[in-house]
Structure 1
Amino acid sequence: MPSAPVYGLVLAGGRSRRMGRDKALLEHEGRSQLAHAMALIGRHVERVFVSTRADQQQEPERARYSQIVDRYDDLGPLAGILSALDEHPEADWLVVACDLPNIGDDTVANLLANRSEDHPFTAYISSHDGLPEPLCAIWRAGTAGIVRQFADEGVHCPRKILIRSQTHLVEQTDPASLDNVNTPADLASSVLEAAS
């Protein structure tokens, strides 16, 4: 069994440009997608944090939780991941995007049960394209140097980092659990509702 503690990071620092509104605040059954993700991940890890940009720290929904503020500009979700790896290098990080309305305990538990000590990353295989799913993945303790090297080389896409690395890949047990909501069309076909 891997010995590093596992912390959770819910990525909620994006600008939601394609959606046109803050995806973290979209609601389902009376609570935000951020609240859903924080509660879900919190059931499986020692500590859970929300990843935010500096200008989001005081937003009321994000302010309810322990935060890791992006230390890097213009890296997209990689800014949050790298900031977490820097802030708590002792931990393995379960990284989950806030816009996965169908994710549940089984998906999280299965990924954690398959966490590899022999690989820097553990990720599900996408049911859509067979590539690693970086935004429901485990980024191991001590990988900040690897991630930073990719960023310095201009590779800012978390998926590309997992593709180019020795990533332990796990079969999905529920492919729909990792379908995300990026656009108004995705929202219309999802269980989420726009917060008023």
Structure 2
Amino acid sequence: MLVVMNQPLLANISHQACDFMYMSDFSRLDDLIVEAIRKLNEPSGSNKAVISGYIEDQYWPPADFQYLLSTKLKSLVNSGKLIKVNQKYRIAPSSSLGGISTKVSSSEGMNTENNNVKRLTKPQVVAELEKMKGMTREEAAAFAAKAVAEAEVAMAEAEEAARVAEAAENDAEAAKAFLDAVILSMRNRNAASMILRAC
């Protein structure tokens, strides 16, 4: 026989367990980066540490946030949505991020837009935690199960987005290596033709 006490359960949830719960649409990190750059409004652009600090102040990012941020910044620079100058990032003048929320999708048809998930700020998180203090065990268990399910979905989306960004970065590096090889080949041809003309 199972006896469940109907007492309020204190919200004893670790910060790590809540990471994705409050930033479950993390696959839309590009929106957060653009928001940070706009709100900080630094004339020469914002560096990674400042962008990271802004996002960490406003939201509860996951444990691997620094890696995801680096990957997403590289991806946004490679796609031309951000400009990187002297380790600082600015929104590109012709960027499609100009006030419009973007979707991340790959050629495999991955669509990471999730309309039923909302982003919570830290004050909203504190309010949610206060609500949790008055929950019964059953309510807390249901809430935790839902949060875990949302976190798993968000982590899978973030991992897929990181894989897509890494593949795009590898493609960009391969294209740059090819371009460098073509330029070197053209220089060698020009040098060879100049030597032949001199003879």
TM-score (norm 1): 0.29
TM-score (norm 2): 0.29
Name the structure with the higher strand share. Answer: 1
Larger relative CO (CA 8 A, sep 6+): 1 or 2?
2
Name the structure with the higher helix share. Answer: 2
Query: Which of the pair has more CA radius of gyration?
Result: 2
